[in-house]
């Protein structure tokens, strides 16, 4: 079990002891491997005991990082620099809060294991996953935001982001070792077929594809939206899977998750057009989009199934599986030329 087993009272104590703030209200947020809390704090602060000059009216997010990721402190140093960089580029994302000792994070012991804790400013809004009306313009904005992030990070780098991570599409072949987590032989066969094709067509030519630092997880849980005469993207969250990877992977992830959240394969077209409005992709890259999308579904489904064996009470882990397997079947059954014709309609790719 790598997820912190922490109570609300313990979380409140961390906010007080580490950040010098008094908790006025706290509740749990969704998390995959991490424990997250939305915290409201008392507006009266002791400036000698905290690094905050003015309390955020929207509150803060207390993140208690899982024990495995907590072993790599450099990643959180890098992420702090990245969040500051993106905010300077007018891409709204959470701003880190320093501890009362002026550190970017603190390590605490919970149930005998080390966990990094961080505090970020909370951005008010609605998680995209929770809205019940999906308009083409919203998916267009998702694609456009993904491209803008990729563009903004072209002049940002950190050695940590050059390291291989589990959730990179470039690591998709690793999931074959977790096939035992599913019992259905037809599903095992489908996953094996997709990953083998992905390895042959994409991984074999990764060095020929354009790369950079990418968000790495543009999904329906990581986007905040707001309704002002229509829904629009307000902010992007969770940079825990940011890494150096192929730009086509960034687009594929956005397409995969927007199709998943809307259960409409055709919505991939809006995401693609939005991405291409801010950043050019080549025809060579576009032709790999379907197999990249399928590989991402395989990653989510296999890791979800395996993690569920380890943590059966975490319903968030199995979010993708509810409709993911049927989407995998449906998308894989559509001829590639037909599907790319739907997603790339009106684009002039070279």
Question: Given pLDDT bands bounded at 50, 70 and 90, which one contains residue 115?
Answer: very high
> What domains does the chain contain, in order, with CATH numbers?
8-122 (3.30.200.20), 127-344 (3.90.1200.10)
Question: Tell me, what's the pLDDT at 46?
Answer: 79
Predicted model pTM: 0.87
Identify the helix (H) or strand (E) that includes residue 27: strand 23-29
d(CA 200, CA 206): 10
d(CA 349, CA 343): 12
- Spacing of C-alpha 153 from chain mean position: 16
> Which of 73, 68, 72, 70 lies closest to 2 in space, CA to CA?
68
Q: What is the total residue count of the chain?
A: 350
Residue 32 has pLDDT above 80, yes or no: no
Coil, strand or helix: which one is 72?
coil
Q: How many CA atoms lie within 13 A of 170 on its CB side?
A: 21
pLDDT in tens, 41-82: 998 887 778 888 888 989 999 999 999 999 989 999 999 999
d(CA 154, CA 319): 32
Higher pLDDT, residue 43 or 146: 146
Cβ 246 vs Cβ 169: under 8 Å: yes
Cβ 19 vs Cβ 50: under 8 Å: yes
102 torsion bin: left (phi>0), alpha (psi -120 to 50), beta (else): left
d(CA 139, CA 136): 5
Cβ 129 vs Cβ 25: under 8 Å: no
d(CA 45, CA 50): 8
pLDDT in tens, 172-193: 999 999 999 999 999 999 999 9
For residue 336, what are the CA distances in angstroms to 134, 174, 209, 291, 293?
25, 24, 20, 9, 12
Question: Tell me, what's the pLDDT at 230?
Answer: 87
The mean predicted confidence, pLDDT, of the chain is 92
């Amino acid at each position: 079990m790598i997820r912190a087993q922490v109570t609300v009272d313990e979380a409140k104590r961390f906010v007080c002891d580490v950040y010098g703030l008094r908790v006025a209200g706290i509740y749990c947020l969704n998390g995959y491997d991490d424990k997250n809390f939305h915290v409201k704090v008392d507006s009266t602060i002791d400036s000698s005991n905290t690094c905050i000059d003015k309390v955020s009216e929207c509150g803060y997010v207390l993140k208690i990082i899982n024990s495995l990721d907590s072993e790599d402190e450099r990643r959180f140093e890098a992420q702090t620099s990245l969040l500051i960089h993106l905010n300077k580029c007018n891409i709204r994302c959470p701003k880190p809060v320093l501890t009362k000792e002026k550190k970017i994070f603190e390590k605490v012991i919970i149930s005998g294991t080390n966990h990094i804790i961080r505090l970020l400013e909370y951005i008010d809004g609605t998680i995209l996953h929770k809205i019940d009306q999906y308009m083409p313009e919203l998916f267009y904005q998702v694609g456009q935001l993904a491209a803008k992030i990729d563009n903004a990070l072209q002049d940002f780098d950190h050695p940590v982001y050059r390291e291989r991570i589990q959730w990179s599409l470039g690591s998709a072949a690793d999931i074959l070792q977790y096939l035992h987590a599913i019992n259905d032989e037809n599903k095992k066969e489908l996953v094996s077929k997709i990953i083998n094709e992905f390895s042959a067509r994409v991984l074999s030519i990764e060095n020929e594809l354009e790369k950079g630092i990418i968000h790495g997880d543009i999904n329906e849980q990581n986007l905040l939206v707001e309704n002002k005469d229509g829904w629009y993207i307000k902010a992007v969250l969770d940079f825990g899977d940011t890494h150096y990877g192929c730009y086509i992977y960034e687009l594929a992830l956005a397409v995969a998750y927007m199709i998943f959240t809307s259960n409409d394969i055709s919505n991939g077209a809006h995401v693609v057009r939005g991405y291409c409005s801010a950043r050019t992709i080549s025809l060579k890259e576009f032709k790999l989009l379907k197999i990249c999308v399928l590989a991402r579904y395989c990653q989510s489904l296999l890791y979800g199934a395996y993690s569920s064996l380890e943590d059966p009470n975490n319903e968030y882990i199995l979010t993708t599986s509810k409709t993911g397997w049927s989407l995998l079947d449906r998308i894989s059954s559509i001829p590639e030329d037909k599907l790319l014709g739907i997603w790339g309609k009106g684009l002039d790719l070279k």
